[in-house]
Chains A and B, each alone.
Chain A
Amino acid sequence: MSSGEVQTIVAARLLAEATSVFIGVGRPSTAAILAREIVNPDLVLVYESGTIGAKPHRIPLSIGDGELAATADVVVPVVEMFNYWIQPGRIDVAFLGAAQVDRRGSLNSTVIGDYDAPRTRLPGAGGAPEIATGCDRVMVVAPHSRRTFVERLDFLTTRAAPEAVITDLGVLEPDAAGELTLTQIHPGVTVEQVREATGWELQVAGDLRTTPEPTEAELSALRELVSR
């Protein structure tokens, strides 16, 4: 099993009790579709294209794929999505990704380098800033590397205080002061590996947990979903 599969399954498990989840594409979307299929059939999937209650059979490439609109309970305009659903806090959980994450969980998806003369121009904010402030519960899904987990963001796109950051090495959660701390580590991963992959001096929880091994049922459901 790959670290990406573990990451997706961990994210899906965290949705077992959620009522609604806001997702983009990539692993968060796969995790939410998986959660709906195996642990939480009433989970309402919300994509920023305006599809509320989407029930895709296949993992969508984009947030605007036809199957999302065809299977949704309702498809709303973008103005309504942001003003009536996200801003008033009607969505339970939001999953966000980013190019850079700092020790408080704020995110950069705008530029690497200077804004006015960037080394790398990233896609930009999209829905993230208002999703982070509108949804009570924010979780970040990101690959764990020094490129991503940085001491200082090149640009602060999204101010966030996520309740969990799920990586392909483990899970970080904020301590009482809001600093991301390693609280869970995936099977086969060492603390040293995680420290090496983090661009700041990573705090490790005293009661560090190990991610329970993905079950046969979880893995086969995920692989079957991916293969559709």
Chain B
Amino acid sequence: MRIVSNRTHGAQILPLADAIASLVKDGDAVALEGFTHLIPFAAGHELIRQGRRDLELIRMTPDLLYDQMIGMGCARKLVFSYGGNPGVGSLHRFRDAIEHGWPAPLAIEEHSHAGMANRYAAGAANLPFGVLRGYAGTDLTKHTNVRTVTCPFTGEELAAVPALRPDVAIVHAQEADRRGNVQLWGIPGVQKEAVLSAARALVTVERVVDELEPRPGGVIIPGWVIDAIAVAPRGAYPSYAHGLTERDNDFYKFWDEVSRDRDAFLAWMDEHVIGAAEVRA
């Protein structure tokens, strides 16, 4: 399957609500990536506000964002490799969905981090599968989408994981220029791979600048592989944008408390997400 790029003029800069509405529909496979860093909370919250349903949510580490989206009934399925609150403990909404089917049954497809990373890399490379040394001898092989493949040169048996090709990838970055070229720095996670593996891509940014100044460790994604840019200051909160905002570790601990109880969770989401159009000011 050839990738056909129809983004000839660079990414459009749109209001977040418009970008989300035009790019994501019910039933889509959506990857909102950011490995602890640059997690696109603003975009995810907009998806919740717009009432998207039946989504296949893809993220290596679901983090609080998918805990929230699962708890609000956006998800039909979750594809992931680690569903915990980093350094704190459980994701209670994730657990409630899997253990008790609340608010709705959640199908899961789980992998290891190495597997998911290689799935994204294969997707970005437009290859049908990724190959790695992994999964061997674990119970996960019986419960997930992984196969064994034999190296045609050496005969070594390796794990084959199917390429990830989301309908939409959404990531957050520090900045974009006016033509939609994006620069992110700090922990890069699988952001670039996610953008390049998806049929459509949205990048939310802290700011738009006249010109990108290359930074040490900076990752630049040209605007012509991105569909839309949306400005979302503090758009990763409670995660962070390295150099511009700080991770709110206290919030991650607070989330452990407020998300344990279904009603407390719903009340918090109603007040802080549903009822708040632009919380970032």
A residues at B contact (CB < 8 Å): 25-26, 48-51, 60-66, 68-70, 74-79, 81-83, 86-87, 110, 115, 118-130, 133-134, 155-159
Residues of A within 8 A of B193 (CB): 77, 79
Residues of A within 8 A of B80 (CB): 124
Q: Does B121 contact A (CB under 8 A)?
A: yes
Chain A's nearest CB lies how many Å from the CB of B210? 26
Residues of A within 8 A of B60 (CB): 78
- Beyond contacts A65-B36, A125-B112: 11 other A-B pairs, Cβ-Cβ < 8 A, are A48-B113, A50-B189, A78-B35, A78-B188, A79-B190, A82-B118, A121-B99, A124-B83, A124-B110, A128-B112, A130-B132
Chain A's nearest CB lies how many Å from the CB of B227? 22
Asked, given contacts A65-B247, A124-B83, A159-B137, whether A77 binds B112 with beta carbons under 8 Å apart, the answer is no
CB-based contact A129/B36 at 8 Å: no
CB-based contact A61/B86 at 8 Å: yes
Residues of A within 8 A of B117 (CB): 78-79, 81-83
CB-based contact A129/B87 at 8 Å: no
Interface of B, secondary structure class, is loop
Residues of A within 8 A of B255 (CB): none
CB < 8 Å: which of A64, A79, A118, A123 contacts B36? A64
Q: How far is the CA of A156 from the CA of B143 in the complex (A)?
A: 12
Chain A's nearest CB lies how many Å from the CB of B238? 11
B residues at A contact (CB < 8 Å): 35-37, 60-61, 80-84, 86-88, 90-91, 94-95, 98-99, 110-114, 117-118, 120-121, 132-140, 143, 186-190, 192-193, 217, 219, 239-240, 242, 246-247, 249, 252-253
CB-based contact B113/A77 at 8 Å: no
CB-based contact B99/A75 at 8 Å: no
- The residue among A50, A130, A134, A157 with the most chain B CB atoms within 10 A of its own CB is A130
CB-based contact B249/A77 at 8 Å: no
Asked, given contacts A83-B132, A130-B132, A157-B140, whether A62 binds B187 with beta carbons under 8 Å apart, the answer is no
CB-based contact A62/B83 at 8 Å: no
Residues of A within 8 A of B113 (CB): 48, 78, 82, 125-127, 130
Q: How far is the CA of A192 from the CA of B135 in the complex (A)?
A: 37
Residues of A within 8 A of B110 (CB): 110, 124-125
CB-based contact A133/B133 at 8 Å: yes
CB-based contact B111/A125 at 8 Å: yes
CB-based contact A133/B140 at 8 Å: no
CB-based contact A66/B186 at 8 Å: yes
Residues of B within 8 A of A87 (CB): 114, 132-133
Residues of A within 8 A of B35 (CB): 49-50, 64, 78
CB-based contact A75/B187 at 8 Å: yes
CB-based contact A158/B138 at 8 Å: yes
CB-based contact B83/A121 at 8 Å: yes
Residue on A nearest B38 in the bound complex, by CB: A64
Residues of A within 8 A of B91 (CB): 123
Residues of A within 8 A of B98 (CB): 118, 121
Q: How far is the CA of A128 from the CA of B113 in the complex (A)?
A: 8
Residue on A nearest B240 in the bound complex, by CB: A66
- The residue among A50, A124, A158 with the most chain B CB atoms within 10 A of its own CB is A124
Residues of B within 8 A of A134 (CB): 133
CB-based contact A133/B134 at 8 Å: yes
Q: How far is the CA of A62 from the CA of B248 in the complex (A)?
A: 11
Residues of A within 8 A of B137 (CB): 156, 159
Residues of A within 8 A of B189 (CB): 49-50, 77-78
Residues of A within 8 A of B132 (CB): 82-83, 87, 130
- The residue among B36, B98, B99 with the most chain A CB atoms within 10 A of its own CB is B36
Residue on A nearest B133 in the bound complex, by CB: A87
CB-based contact B114/A75 at 8 Å: no
Residue on B nearest A59 in the bound complex, by CB: B87
Chain A's nearest CB lies how many Å from the CB of B249? 4
CB-based contact B81/A159 at 8 Å: no
Residues of A within 8 A of B239 (CB): 64
Residues of B within 8 A of A60 (CB): 87
Q: How far is the CA of A110 from the CA of B138 in the complex (A)?
A: 11
Chain B's nearest CB lies how many Å from the CB of A226? 14
CB-based contact B252/A61 at 8 Å: yes
